Structure 1
Amino acid sequence: MIELIRTNSDNSDFRFLVKQLDAYLKITDGDEHEFYNQFNSIKSLNHVVIAYLDGKPSGCGAFKHFNDNSVEVKRMFTTIKTREKAIATRVLTELECWANELNYSSCILETGVRQKEAIQFYKKNDYQIIANYGQYKGVENSLCFEKKIKR
């Protein structure tokens, strides 16, 4: 059974999952890890969703304010052992619902071009590729997405 909770970045299960995510990204990002890592602070994320599978933390995601209309999805991760169980989709959907409740109309995010699974995941969840924004402008290994969520 999958259970979702809304919390913030002070949650110890979120921090546990983010450590696993960072270890994975250090490998996939290679020499660019430090560049990307500077934009992934979890010090003050107020909108975090954690998924529990059979009572164990199995996936997470968060968002932060980007502008008056959009939130930026951050720190999406599912443990290797719990992939292919729709956990990431459940987390992302919950983040989108929460952002919608707060009157945001879209979610944006960045992922690396080397993260093929993430790219397919976001496309499958109706995210559209957009021009790289903010700190990712001109970064060849970044791919940015957006999804309209206003219902």
Structure 2
Amino acid sequence: MFNISEVDKGDSDLARLVSELDVFLSELYPVESNHCLDLSAVSDEQLRCVIVRDEGNAHAGCGALLFHQNGSAEIKRVYIRPEYRGKKLGEKIVSAIEGIVSEKNSRLLQLETGIHQQPAIALYRKCGYEICDAFPPYTADPLSVFMRKELP
């Protein structure tokens, strides 16, 4: 059984997960194609974060939601520790993030992921996201995949 909850961007378990994600991404992509968000550089009003914990309260995964000035929102920092993959935690994180977006009355949810992250791309497709062109603040990048979903 897993528990998903919202946490402050300064949460120490969240920081450990984001650090692991940064190491993972740095092995897959060059710096110029690594679009990592520094959570501490974003205001509390623009950012919401979630974390998944197992029954023993160990942190298994995380995700974040960045609200843009234009009313859209962006999924950021989704990560599942390797030992917890295959347990549908990605779907739980995306669902929690979509719930937060609905609370804010945003309808457009976007994301950027990388071409070497095929399981992530499959997850987002399964959750109803479609490939789209790059959106601000990004520019087209051959190592990036941009996706979007209109929420009801």
TM-score, structure 1 length as denominator?
Answer: 0.90
Moved more, 37-46 or 53-62: 37-46
1:42 and 1:109 map into 2 onto residues whose CA distance is 16
The equivalent of 1:5 in structure 2 is: 5
- AA aligned to 1:53 is D
Two-structure CA RMSD over aligned residues (Å): 1.5
The equivalent of 1:19 in structure 2 is: 19
- 1:145 is paired with a residue of what secondary structure? strand
- 1:51 is paired with a residue of what secondary structure? strand
Moved more, 38-47 or 105-114: 38-47
Q: Does 1:51 align with 2:52?
A: yes
The equivalent of 1:107 in structure 2 is: 109
1:113 and 1:57 map into 2 onto residues whose CA distance is 26
The equivalent of 1:79 in structure 2 is: 81
1:19 and 1:75 map into 2 onto residues whose CA distance is 10
Identity, in percent, stands at 26
| Deviations, residues 32-61 of structure 1 (Å, cap 9, x unaligned) | 2x2244641111363001000121100100
- AA aligned to 2:72 is S
The equivalent of 1:63 in structure 2 is: 65
Paired residues, number:
147
Return 5+ residue gaps in structure 1 as ranges.
none
- 1:108 is paired with a residue of what secondary structure? strand
| Deviations, residues 118-139 of structure 1 (Å, cap 9, x unaligned) | 1111111110011111243221
Cα–Cα, structure 1 residues 38 and 118, in superposed 2: closer, same or farther, change >3 Å? closer
Q: Please, which of 103, 118, 132 is the counterpart of residue 120 of structure 2? A: 118
2:72 and 2:8 map into 1 onto residues whose CA distance is 19
Which structure dedicates a bigger proportion of its chain to helix?
1
| Deviations, residues 59-80 of structure 1 (Å, cap 9, x unaligned) | 1000111243310110000000
Q: Please, which of 38, 55, 59 is the counterpart of residue 41 of structure 1? A: 38
- AA aligned to 1:72 is E
1:38 and 1:146 map into 2 onto residues whose CA distance is 17
- AA aligned to 1:42 is L
1:38 and 1:76 map into 2 onto residues whose CA distance is 13
TM-score, structure 2 length as denominator?
Answer: 0.90
- 1:9 is displaced (CA, Å) by 1.1
Moved more, 86-95 or 38-47: 38-47
